[in-house]
Amino acid sequence: MKRVMPEPYKIKSVEMLNILTEEEREVAIKEAGYNTFLLNSEDIYIDLLTDSGTSAMSDEQWAGMMRGDEAYAGSKNFFRLDKTVRELFGFKYMVPTHQGRGAENILSTICIKEGDYVPGNMYFTTTRFHQEINGANFVDIICDEAHQPSRDDVPFKGNVDLDKLQVLIDEVGADKIPYICVAVTVNMAGGQPVSMANLRAVYELAQKYEIKVMFDATRCVENACFIKDREEGYKNKTIKEIVFEMFSYGDGCTMSGKKDCLTNVGGFLCLNDEELFSKAKELVVVYEGMPSYGGMSGRDMEAMAIGMEESVQYPYIKHRLTQVEYLGQRLIDAGVPVVKPIGGHAVYLDARAFLSNIDQEQFPAQALAAAIYKDSGVRTMERGIVSAGRDKVTGENHKPKLELVRLTIPRRVYTYAHLDYVADSIIDLYNKRETIKPLEFVYEPKQLRFFTSKFQEIS
């Protein structure tokens, strides 16, 4: 039998979990309008809502917090973070922000003109929001396989379809495309990676037309580990070398430090262009803070610099991907429909297949996420029609091909035993799935509606 390697860390401090009864959970989810975002965290047993800002920091990071230099300007922690980011990513300039969307706001504002087009390998909610509010049209150029949840023979389902990119350039002209947004990995496709060969090819094509490539670097370390494991020629390279090469095929990036930087808050924007850097610094003082803190405290920046160095250590990242894969494989073995192959940060249930009796406009993924909470106290997230929102012109619901529930694994927080409980619960629920009821809106906010909308069951 193959040995399962346990967690590559031991536990120094613990946080006790609350266990509610099923009756108590039924009341809680009803009060939350069947929206898992609106649950109180104290009512949750295992929280798989997100891997964003939910990482456990290391003893080294906590020690770093004590070295926080909280000067208003020129904090020493900023200089350490700046150096770490530039060394690991290879970009020339870095602007700190309070989190990823702060960087997206600045990048979109300085690069986009009304009527532009921003192609990307699938949308992300906040990213597309900032592109559209600045007047751009988002165009999805991810490969078709990314929209096929059961296709498990594609190792890099996050890849850009170069033909789609070429068609867009021919149709609208390169001068209407301020940059191509390349996410590594692709969250909404199921945490799917992009190959190095694809990144290289996108950059070559972009350079031919003098279009910039801007990465969404949020889960870049996970992407690098997939490249090491799956792409020819990378087995003997370090994660650090792979990350560095990935970003050599671009002109900048936005980063949510709340994921692969192993911290609870923070983010940054990287750029190679001096003029754009100068514009970004003008805006950061308006929205975030001084260019030497951008909304983070000194201690946050120190923890982030240390977290980034820890994140590129192979034992850490390999264990993380293996943990996610383990949960996914348990569900696959039981016949539960999930997005395949299993991605980097989460297992995604295919809610359309799980609840094939519920119409997409009756929110199957939302209903499934609510049912999982009620059944087991596990909190998950809808990533389907509710997240996709409405078309800004027609007002119709975007109807994404993928109607998913995300079981997101926080970094260094849960053990294999927790994941077994999650798997057992979901398998049980799958076997009684006909008891799950469809939903309808009782409150729908205009923007990023998934965060605060409320629903009721249709009986």
Q: Which residues of the chain form contacts with ligand P71 (CB under 6 A)?
A: 50, 52, 99-101, 124-127, 183, 187, 216, 218, 256, 258, 267
What is the Cα–Cα distance from 407 to 49, expressed in whole angstroms?
7
Closest by CA position to 294, among listed 60, 65, 82, 66 = 82
Nearer to ligand P71, 35 or 58 (CB): 35
Active site residue: 34, 45, 124, 455, which one? Answer: 124
Closest-approach residue to ligand P71 (CB): 100
Residue 439 Cβ vs ligand P71, minimum distance, rounded to whole Å: 19
HSE (CB half, 13 Å, CA atoms) of 1?
A: 3
3-state DSSP assignment of residue 224: helix
- Report, in Å, the least distance between residue 453 CB and ligand P71: 12
Cβ at position 345, least distance to ligand P71 in Å: 8
Catalytic residue from among 101, 219, 330, 383 = 383
Q: Is residue 207 a contact partner of residue 254, using CB atoms and an 8 Å limit?
A: no
Minimum separation from the CB atom of position 170 to ligand P71 (A):
28
> Can you read off the two tokens belonging to residue 152?
């498990």
The tokens for 66 are 């004590």
Closer residue to ligand P71, CB minimum distance, 227 or 409? 409
Q: Does residue 351 contact residue 403 with C-beta atoms inside 8 Å?
A: yes
- 36 catalytic, yes or no? no
Of 61 and 380, CB closest to ligand P71: 380
**Catalytic hit among 43, 82, 161, 216:** 216
- From start to end of 134-257, where are the E strands? 137-140, 179-183, 212-216, 252-256
Nearer to ligand P71, 52 or 131 (CB): 52
Query: Closest distance between ligand P71 and the C-beta of residue 10, in Å?
Result: 27
Residue 397 to residue 253: CA distance in whole angstroms: 30
Q: Does the annotation mark 455 as catalytic?
A: no
User: Residue type for 103, please?
Assistant: A
For residue 216, what are the contacts with CB-CB under 8 A and spacing of at least 6?
A: 100, 124, 127, 181, 182, 183, 184, 253, 254
Determine contact, residues 332/149, Cβ cutoff 8 Å.
Answer: no
Strands 137-140 and 212-216: unpaired
Other CB atoms within 10 A of residue 422 CB: 23
Min dist CB 328 to ligand P71, Å, is 17
Does the active-site annotation cover 124? yes
The one-letter code for the residue type at 91 is F
Minimum distance from residue 19 beta carbon to ligand P71 (Å)? 24
Q: Which member of 72, 333, 443, 451 is catalytic?
A: 72
| Residue 125 bears catalytic tag | yes
Q: Which is nearer to ligand P71, 138 or 169 (CB)?
A: 138
* Residue 15: burial class (beta carbons within 10 Å; 0-12, 13-18, 19+): exposed
Give the residue with the Cβ less far from ligand P71, 102 or 169: 102
Token duo for residue 26: 């039924």
In angstroms, what is the minimal distance from the CB of 4 to ligand P71?
27
State which residue, 169 or 308, has the beta carbon closest to ligand P71.
308
- Per the residue annotation, which of 36, 50, 84, 125 is the catalytic one? 125
Element (H, E) at 443: strand 439-443
Cα angle 262-89-346, degrees, rounded to a multiple of 5: 40
* CB-nearer residue toward ligand P71: 58 or 218: 218
Handedness of CA 157, 162, 163, 164 (dihedral sign): positive
Q: Could you confirm whether 59 is annotated as catalytic?
A: no
* Euclidean distance between CA atoms 278 and 195, whole angstroms: 32
Q: Which residue in 247, 277, 450, 455 is the catalytic one?
A: 450
Catalytic residue flag (residue 348) = no
List, in sequence order, every residue forming a beta bridge with 268; answer none if it has no partner. 96, 255
Is 9 catalytic? The answer is no
Task: Give the residue numbers marked as catalytic.
Answer: 72, 124-125, 216, 259, 383, 450
